[in-house]
Structure 1
């Protein structure tokens, strides 16, 4: 008798689990359909708001907007949001010390730039400008 109750409890749990899964799947399908219909409605409203004024095109119906939406998906793909080679696993493999590789510079040296410019840079720049002026003057 006790064994039968255990079996019944296990079957009830499995059935309840399956029912929950089915309800979740149905809810997700309904949610996806609602999002598709909403996106199509927004496309129609945006088209009818912008296109006639900007490009002189006529307004469209809901079903024409659905056709444009499907056509755009066919032409430009169904992507968006998917992992394409990247993702968290890929990011964890990149070491922070190796991030810039050979292009990495030691920016600690830049703290001396202001002092260099005060001592040598201005004079060197003025000499360069004078030299350019003299070369241009000679060529004219």
Structure 2
């Protein structure tokens, strides 16, 4: 008898949990539909507010806005890129892919000498370069 009562309680608890999960799923589906309909309504309102003034196009109905919304989702994706992928996080992928360009990167240790170079030779070298450009430009303008 004792075993039968424990079994009944376990079954009741399992049924309760199943019903709670079903109610949550139904509520999420309804909430998802409401969010979708609200997003479509907002798209319609924004279109009718902005597009006629900016581009001279006509206004749209709710169902036309729904078509635009679905078309945009088909063309531009559904935004499901936020989750983790099989190959690890996207941050790690970016770090790994950044090592591919190492041959083209400059050694940043050399930049510590930049200020000293500019003080010693940079200003004079720049002035000489500007003079060369002016003379080259002056020579080509006289030939024409």
What is the match of residue 119 of structure 1? Answer: 120
Structure 2 unaligned spans of 5+:
none
Structure 1 unaligned spans of 5+:
none
1:49-79 deviation per Cα after TM superposition (whole angstroms, max 9, x unaligned): 11222233332222232232233334x1542
Distance 1:37 1:91, change over 3 A: closer
Work out the CA distance in 1 between the residues paired with 2:47 and 2:61: 10
Q: What is the aligned-residue RMSD (CA, Å)?
A: 3.0
What is the match of residue 88 of structure 2? Answer: 89
What is the match of residue 49 of structure 1? Answer: 49
Post-superposition offset of 1:21: 1.2
Q: TM-score, normalised by structure 2?
A: 0.76
2:135 is equivalent to residue 134 of structure 1? yes
What is the match of residue 9 of structure 1? Answer: 9
Q: In the alignment, is the contact (CA less than 8 A) between 2:84 and 2:90 conserved in 1?
A: no
Q: TM-score, normalised by structure 1?
A: 0.77
What is the match of residue 60 of structure 1? Answer: 60
1:79-133 deviation per Cα after TM superposition (whole angstroms, max 9, x unaligned): 2133588588234755969844514443233222112101011112222223333
Distance 1:117 1:81, change over 3 A: same
